[in-house]
Amino acid sequence: MGPMRVGVRRGAPDQTEADTRVVGLFEGETLGAPELQALVDSGEARGKLKSVVVTHEAGGRRVIVAGLGKREELDAEKARVAAAAVAARAKELGAKALSWAAPTADTAVAAGLVEGTMLKLYAFDEYKSGRDDEDSTRIESLEITTDAEVERAVEEARVRAEAQNAARDLQNQPSNVATPEYLADRARTIAEAHDSLTFDALDRHEIRELGMGAFSAVAQGTDREPRLIVLRYEGGSGGPRLGFVGKAVTFDTGGISIKPAGKMHEMKFDMSGGAAVIEAMGAIARLGLDARIVAVVPSTENMPSGRSMKPGDIVRAMNGKTIEINNTDAEGRLILADALCYAVDQGAERIVDLATLTGAIVTTFGSTYCGLFSNDDDWYAHVEAACKATGELGWRLPLHPEYFELTKGQYADLTNSSEARKAASIYAAEFLRQFVDDRPWVHMDIAGVAWGMTRNYVAGGASGFGVRTLIELARTAGA
């Protein structure tokens, strides 16, 4: 099944060739066409956001009247929500081509319509028998009908949503398919499609040779070969070099400190940060954004075996710091410690990492906000703005010397898990901070939002969270 065709069309909304056209309705406003206004008058069509009413006009074309809320409140996020409601209904009705009449000249709203539609229609069904029948009634195209200059915004939105859906594909693949080598292959494929990207992947031996004792310790317990995946983007001259780092534990059993069976299957999603980083890099290259980025994705399984790291083991990370491993299930911070050192080594001047790092952040924020942590208020403001602009919500939690104290080891410089069990998400952030060499850095703990979101346009399984924020950072961090 091919990707959805997305474009901009000029002219009258009712002159489209699409089988289904969509007209937005603001609260308290009217519609031009008398037949459609009759639906408003009768109370059937409403301006309330998410309201969807279906009718047909002369010639048989389907018309969907979609509620948009109050005109002055319509923004990209509400556009995503409205578009998702429409897309779900249109799919049920067997629509093949959608034509949205842009409700305003706002480029962000046009982009939101594209994202909401594409993200809502995402499905991961390659292992379901008989899906070919359903494919014949797929929505194949989306056009935004408008006289406004929205081409660039619509194309960017299409690329963003496609990348986010690609990240969801990587996440949803089970761990027997999506191995570290599989993720590396995906990164290589992306790099091969763009001259501005270069790919590198270090193997078990090379990871050890670089002095990555923490990453090596996690990887020593599994028979699957680990990879340190590196993508470099050279798409401009100015601005600081960005470092994107993504945790990619392709399955987290907990290791010797093994997890309970109940939800362990969800730990195939423990590579979500890495998936977001890899696919965002592809989108950034496709859009030719003016940025220089080094992306580092440490990838391994975390398994119990006769070779596994054990509680009490002491290892040395790439920057020389020693770590006492008191819980083998706190493996994300171990692989990230070395990956952050590597990003610094490779010249990253502003760093953002994405990681499904702590269960505690799920308790704190559920599946609505990710946790944000930073050692630099200016860089934090930048990342927060990117989150706001894309609707990928984040909320800052503090760092503090008292939390830093908790990370000190009894026998080594650091311990990856303290007996105190206090402030677990902040503890993890304080741990990571010690590997960024004081560079401006933001840590995004995405354990709650990487899957199981309940946003109208991304609900259920993998969310692809972070892809849009990273692309936005590449677009805006040049200054």
Active-site positions read: 259, 333
Q: Tokens standing for 221? A: 């317990």
Q: Quick one: angle between helices 467-476 and 272-287, nearest 10?
A: 40
Q: Which of 143, 270, 279, 472 binds Zn ion (CB under 5 A)?
A: 270
> Is the Cβ of residue 182 or residue 199 nearer to Zn ion in the bound state?
182
Q: Could you say which residues in the range 236-255 bind Zn ion, by CB under 5 A?
A: 249, 252
Residues 6+ apart with CB under 8 A from 268: 171, 173, 174, 175, 178, 250, 251
Nearest-10 Cα torsion for 445, 448, 451, 457 = -100
Total site size for ligand BES, rule CB under 6 A: 16
Nearest-approach distance from CB 193 to ligand BES, in angstroms:
31
Q: Where are the alpha helices (DSSP H) in 93-232?
A: 107-120, 131-135, 151-172, 180-192, 204-209, 213-219
Which parts of 200-358 fold into alpha helices (H)? 204-209, 213-219, 272-287, 332-345
For residues 416-445, which are near Mn ion according to CB under 5 A? none
Residue whose CB is less far from Mn ion, 148 or 264: 264
Q: What is the DSSP code (8-state) at residue 199?
A: E
Q: Name the residue whose CB lies closest to Zn ion.
A: 252
Nearer to ligand BES, 356 or 469 (CB): 356
Token pair recorded at residue 215: 């990453």
Q: Does 252 bind Mn ion (CB under 5 A)?
A: yes
287 binds ligand BES (CB under 6 A): no
Identify the residue whose tokens are 């194309």. 155
Beta carbon of residue 444, minimum distance to Zn ion (angstroms, whole number): 15
Does 372 contact ligand BES by CB under 6 A? no
Q: Which of 279, 329, 353, 392 binds ligand BES (CB under 6 A)?
A: 329
The whole-angstrom separation of Cα 384 and Cα 395 is 8
Window contacting Mn ion (CB under 5 A); options: 32-40, 183-191, 291-299, 331-339: 331-339
Per-residue x/- marks for Mn ion, 382-411, CB under 5 A?
Answer: ------------------------------
Nearer to ligand BES, 5 or 421 (CB): 421
Residue 235 in contact with Zn ion, rule: CB under 5 A: no
Residue of 368, 340, 364, 375 whose CA lies nearest to 354: 340
Per CB under 6 A, the list member of 87, 113, 114, 362 interacting with ligand BES is: 362
Contacts of 320 (CB under 8 A, 6+ apart): none
Report the site for ligand BES in 412-451 (rule: CB under 6 A). Answer: 417, 424, 447
Find which of Mn ion, ligand BES, Zn ion, none residue 392 binds, CB within 5 to 8 Å per kind: none
Q: What is the footprint of ligand BES within residues 330-359 (CB under 6 A)?
A: 330-332, 356-359
* Coarse DSSP helix, strand, coil percentages of the chain, rounded to the nearest 5 percent: 40, 20, 40
Contacts with Zn ion, 180-219, as mask; x by CB under 5 A: ----------------------------------------
Instruction: Please state, in angstroms and rounded to a whole number, the distance separating the CA atoms of residues 305 and 330.
Output: 17
CB 180 within 8 A of CB 270: no
Are the CB atoms for 349 and 437 separated by under 8 Å? no
270 vs 472 by CB, closer to Zn ion: 270
- Work out the angle at residue 277's Cα, subtended by the Cα atoms of residues 274 and 283, and round it to the nearest 5 degrees: 145
Using rule CB under 6 A, residue 327 touches ligand BES: yes
Q: How far apart are the first and last CA of the chain?
A: 40
**Geometric angle at alpha carbon 366, from 362 and 368, rounded to 5°:** 125
* From candidates 329, 338, 353, 445, binder to Mn ion by CB under 5 A: 329
Binding to Zn ion (CB under 5 A) within 324-343 occurs at 332
| Nearest to ligand BES of 36, 406 (CB atom) | 406
- Answer with the entry of ligand BES, Zn ion, Mn ion, none that 472 interacts with (C-beta below 5 to 8 A by kind): none
Q: What is the closest distance, in whole angstroms, from the C-beta atom of residue 7 to ligand BES in the complex?
A: 38
Backbone angles phi, psi at 176, to 5 degrees: -75, -15
Indicate the SS3 state at residue 22. strand
Chain contacts with Zn ion (rule: CB under 5 A) = 249, 252, 270, 332
Chain contacts with ligand BES (rule: CB under 6 A) = 252, 270, 327, 329-332, 356-360, 362, 417, 424, 447
